[in-house]
């Protein structure tokens, strides 16, 4: 009886560990524009699952091919696109965040698109309209081919992501006020990951929208349930505030994370995974931004610099 009880406890412990091992990430595109074929798109799934969502869709097929070449997937590219990738979460409708999704839509299978109303309306009216591209959407100019279903999000409402075991909440961001972007908080079995689309700092944008996100996730940071944050930094510190165009620099990147540290406790932010996204590759920006971020990292977060097609885990 004791042996049986011990085995049951061991199995339950193993199951709990197996069920809460964070997320795996496959970057399909990592640059902040200018490099067609390598623009913002990140496939994310629970550990031990191939049911992915894609945060944005700037580059898709080239990223999948690089991931296969790197041994991330051992299937053909169309299997990854059609079977593994279940939905797109689009932060805003700029081309460097959705052009890959649009171009690959003809060869894709039925999927859900999630985004705020302004984003969905731009995709419907300006891209999937039979003028820019065939209408692959579930609404709009006839005939609507209904390959992609528009799911309009309500801010801070938790919903299930269809065809996955994940759920999510969305928050509005300011991307050069009054233009909008979005942050997505995705959950699975008590683990969370937070993705920011393009965003300007609160002090420049004057909206307080980033602070609202930090307030929402601070309890998760305290509880060690937030496994990672994707946060953009587009320009080096030399970029003047009046020319940020709704983006961050290393100075503002760290200042925003300091807001989170104030809300959740510095000790809880130390070692937190922060994935650096959207670096604009002009000139020596990448080298300079990385140097400035590392020098300013007094919070002790774990900065992750990504490469297209190179997978990593968030635990």
C-alpha dist (Å) from residue 165 to 45, 48, 272: 9, 12, 24
pLDDT of residue 208: 96
Mean pLDDT of the chain: 94
Task: Write the pLDDT tens digit of every residue in 45-89.
Answer: 999 999 999 999 999 999 999 999 999 999 999 999 999 999 999
Domain 21-306 is in which class?
Answer: alpha beta
pLDDT of residue 174: 98
User: Between vectors from CA 147 to CA 100 and to CA 133, what angle results, nearest 5°?
Assistant: 50
16-20, 44-48, 247-251: lowest mean pLDDT where? 16-20
**CA-CA-CA-CA dihedral for 248, 265, 167, 60, to nearest 10:** 30
List 229's β-bridge partners, or say none.
Answer: 194, 274
C-alpha dist (Å) from residue 153 to 16, 91, 104, 126, 167: 31, 11, 23, 19, 12
Measured between alpha carbons, how far is 234 from 284 in angstroms, rounded to an integer?
12
User: Between vectors from CA 63 to CA 52 and to CA 273, what angle results, nearest 5°?
Assistant: 60
Measured between alpha carbons, how far is 128 from 108 in angstroms, rounded to an integer?
14
Q: Where are the domains of the chain?
A: 21-306
pLDDT of residue 215: 98
Q: What is the pTM of this model?
A: 0.93
Measured between alpha carbons, how far is 241 from 220 in angstroms, rounded to an integer?
31
pLDDT of residue 14: 42
Confidence of residue 28 (pLDDT cuts 50, 70, 90): very high
Measured between alpha carbons, how far is 108 from 93 in angstroms, rounded to an integer?
19
**CA-CA-CA-CA dihedral for 259, 264, 267, 271, to nearest 10:** -70
Task: Write the pLDDT tens digit of every residue in 280-293.
Answer: 998 899 999 999 99
Task: Write the pLDDT tens digit of every residue in 96-151.
Answer: 999 999 999 999 999 999 999 999 999 999 999 999 999 999 999 999 999 999 99
Strands 273-277, 302-305: pairing kind: parallel
């Amino acid at each position: 009886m004791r042996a049986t009880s011990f085995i049951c406890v061991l199995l339950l412990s193993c199951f709990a560990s197996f069920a809460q091992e964070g997320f795996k990430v496959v970057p399909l595109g990592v640059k902040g524009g200018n490099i067609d074929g390598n623009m913002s798109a990140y496939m994310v799934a629970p550990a031990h699952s191939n049911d992915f969502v894609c945060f944005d869709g700037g580059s898709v097929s080239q990223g999948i091919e690089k991931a296969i070449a790197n041994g991330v997937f051992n299937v053909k590219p169309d299997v990854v696109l059609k079977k593994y990738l279940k939905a797109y979460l689009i932060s805003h409708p700029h081309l460097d965040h959705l052009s890959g999704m649009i171009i690959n839509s003809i060869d894709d299978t039925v999927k859900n698109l999630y985004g705020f109303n302004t984003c969905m309306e731009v995709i419907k009216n300006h891209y999937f309209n039979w003028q820019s591209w065939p209408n692959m959407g579930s609404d709009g100019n006839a005939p609507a081919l209904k390959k992609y279903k528009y799911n309009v999000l309500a801010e801070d409402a938790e919903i299930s992501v269809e065809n996955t075991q994940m759920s999510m909440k969305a928050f509005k961001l300011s991307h050069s006020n009054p233009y909008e972007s979005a942050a997505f908080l995705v959950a699975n079995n008590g683990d969370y990951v937070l993705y920011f689309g393009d965003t300007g700092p609160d002090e420049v944008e004057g909206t307080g929208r980033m602070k609202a996100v930090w307030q929402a996730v601070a309890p998760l940071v305290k509880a060690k349930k937030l496994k990672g944050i994707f946060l953009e930094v587009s320009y080096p510190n030399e970029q003047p505030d009046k020319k940020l165009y709704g983006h961050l620099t290393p100075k503002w990147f760290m200042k925003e994370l300091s807001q989170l540290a104030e809300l959740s406790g510095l000790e809880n932010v130390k070692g937190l995974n922060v994935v650096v996204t959207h670096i604009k590759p002009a000139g020596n920006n990448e080298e300079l931004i990385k140097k400035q971020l590392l020098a300013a990292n007094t919070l002790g977060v774990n900065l992750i610099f990504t490469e297209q097609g190179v997978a990593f885990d968030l635990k």
